[in-house]
């Protein structure tokens, strides 16, 4: 309804009023926008918190994986490894093939990693700069294996829905020391478990794509049976991890994740 003056003639708003109204509208819009962004961030945080919680419900887990490394133009290589996980700690024990048999990688924290080489009877520390490097030419690097809680390392931002999945972007923080600039996670709506992850560098270039398929649940834990990491910079060089065996809450001792244990058989 148009505002009218006392005389009945239409009241023409002064320029100052118009400017004020526009400014008010812009403020309103920006506040709304900021609120939306804040809401998105909160939504992202919630989803990542949900993911981290889901991924860490079990007290410990034990896996046997076949790790298949496919390099275009070369022979595909398969390794077998046993993996123990307890909280943020992880012990990877390679059991085949012969040349890597007995090699163990112990991750006690994101910045504390060791490798045991049986042929040398030695423990070697893995320095932080090597986190971007991979073991035995795989596409999973040390950092991929050491990240168990995204919320501790990245700042999340909700990007909306895509193909029936939540899309959350997590950005590396200054404290994260991550080799990636950001990761786009596509989470299932019902249980926040990721089915696809896009890895980007700091310039936003898409480096790798990870897919996690065939989720199944055992006791309180749900994990993918098949995980595949494709490195696009290396002409789609890929590594696939296929779960062959899985146990949850085995009661493994925390001592298994010690340096002493690395050099012993328990």
Partner 1 sequence: MRRLARLMTHRTVAWVTVVFVLLVAGGSTWLAMRVAQDDDLLAFLPADDPDVKHFHELARRFGGLDVALVGIDAGRERSVFTQDFLGRLKRATEELADTRGLDGVVSLDNVTDFIADREKGGIITGPLVGKVPPDAAGLAALREKVLSRDHVVGTFVSRDGRATLLYCFLAHGSNPRRVASAIAQVVDKHFPQNPRYWGGNPFISAYIFDTTQQDMRRLTPWAVLAMVIVMMIAFRDLLGTCLALLSTSFGIVIAIGLMRLCGEPINLVLSSMPVILFAVGSAYGIHILAHYYVRVRQREQALPGEDDGQRRAAAISETLCATGPTVLAAGLTTVVSLLSFLAMDLRPMRVFGLFTGIGVLVTLILSLTFIPAVARLVKLRGRVEGGAGAAVDRVLVPLVDAMQKWRVAAGVVLVVVALGAGVAVLRVENRIDATNLFGPGSPPDRADRFMARYFGGSQFLQVHVKADLDDPLVLRELTYLGDRLRFFPHVSSVVDIGSVISRANEAMEGQRRIPDTRAKVKMLAAFVSGEVAVKQLVAAQRRQALVQVKLGTSDAAQLEKLLADIERWVGNDRLRSYQRVSVGDRGAGLAARSRQRAMVAARLRAALASEGVVLGDARHAALVRGLEQPAPSLDRRPIEAQLRRFLRSQECAAPLPKTLADGSDPAPKLAAALVALGTPPARVARQPRQGGGAGDELTPWEKKVRAVIVQTLATPGQPTNAELVDDLLLSVQTPLAELTDGEAARQHTLALLRRAGVTLPPGGVGVRGRAAVAAALLDLRVPQVLMPRGAGGARQATTVGPEATPAAAATPTAAAASLTLLPRVNGLPTIHRALSRSALHNQLFSLATALIPVILIMVVLFRSLTAGLLVATPTLVTLLLIYGGMGLLGVRLDIGTAMLACIILGAGVDYGVHLVACWRDPGGDRREAARVAVRATGTAIWTNALTVAIGFFVLTMGDARPLQNVGGLTAIAMLAAALATFWTIPVLARKAAYGRAVQGGAAASAAGAPAPASNPSRDLTVPSEEDALPRPTSARGSE
Site string for partner 1, 215-254 (x = CB under 8 A): -----------------xxxx-x-----------------
By CB under 8 A, residue 259 contacts partner 1: yes
Closest to 86 in 3D by CA, of 148, 153, 177, 151: 148
By CB under 8 A, residue 78 contacts partner 1: no
Sign of CA dihedral 173, 174, 177, 179: positive
Contact stretch for partner 1 (CB under 8 A) within 56-64, 99-107, 169-177, 189-197: 99-107
Please, which of residues 140-179 interact with partner 1 by CB under 8 A? none
Sign of CA dihedral 34, 199, 163, 54: negative
User: How many Cβ atoms are within 10 Å of 58's Cβ, its own excluded?
Assistant: 21
Pick from 123, 159, 222, 242: which binds partner 1 (CB under 8 A)? 123
Contact criterion met (CB below 8 Å) for 61 and 248: yes
d(C-alpha 60, C-alpha 75), whole Å: 35
Contact criterion met (CB below 8 Å) for 180 and 151: no
**Closer residue to partner 1 (CB): 73 or 164:** 73
Pick from 57, 64, 68, 117: which binds partner 1 (CB under 8 A)? 117
DSSP 158-191: EEEEETTEEEEEEEE-TTT--S-SEEEEEEETTT
Pick from 2, 16, 119, 190: which binds partner 1 (CB under 8 A)? 119
CB of 195 to partner 1, least distance (A): 24
Site string for partner 1, 30-59 (x = CB under 8 A): ------------------------------
By CB under 8 A, residue 107 contacts partner 1: no
């Amino acid at each position: 309804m148009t505002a009218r003056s006392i005389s009945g003639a239409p009241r023409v708003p002064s320029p100052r009023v118009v400017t004020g109204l526009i400014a008010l509208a812009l403020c309103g819009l920006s506040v709304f926008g900021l609120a939306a962004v804040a809401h998105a961030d909160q939504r992202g945080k919630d989803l990542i918190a949900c993911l981290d919680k889901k991924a860490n419900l079990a007290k410990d887990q034990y896996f046997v994986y076949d790790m298949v490394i496919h390099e275009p133009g070369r022979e595909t290589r398969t390794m077998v490894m046993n993996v123990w996980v307890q909280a943020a700690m992880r012990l990877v024990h390679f059991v085949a093939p012969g040349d890597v048999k007995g090699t163990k990688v112990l991750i006690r924290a994101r910045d504390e990693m060791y490798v045991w080489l049986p042929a040398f009877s030695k423990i070697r520390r893995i320095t932080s700069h090597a986190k971007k490097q991979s073991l035995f030419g795989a596409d999973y690097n040390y950092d991929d294996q050491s990240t168990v809680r995204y919320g501790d390392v990245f700042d999340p931002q909700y990007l909306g829905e895509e193909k029936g999945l939540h899309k959350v972007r997590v950005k590396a923080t200054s404290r994260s020391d991550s080799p990636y600039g950001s990761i786009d996670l596509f989470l299932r709506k019902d249980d926040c478990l990721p089915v696809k992850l896009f890895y980007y560098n700091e310039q936003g270039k898409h480096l790798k794509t990870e897919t996690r398929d065939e989720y199944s649940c055992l006791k309180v834990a749900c994990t993918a049976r098949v995980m595949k990491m494709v490195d696009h910079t290396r002409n789609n060089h890929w590594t696939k991890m296929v779960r062959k065996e899985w146990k949850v809450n085995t009661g493994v001792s925390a001592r298994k994740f010690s340096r002493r244990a690395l050099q012993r058989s328990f």
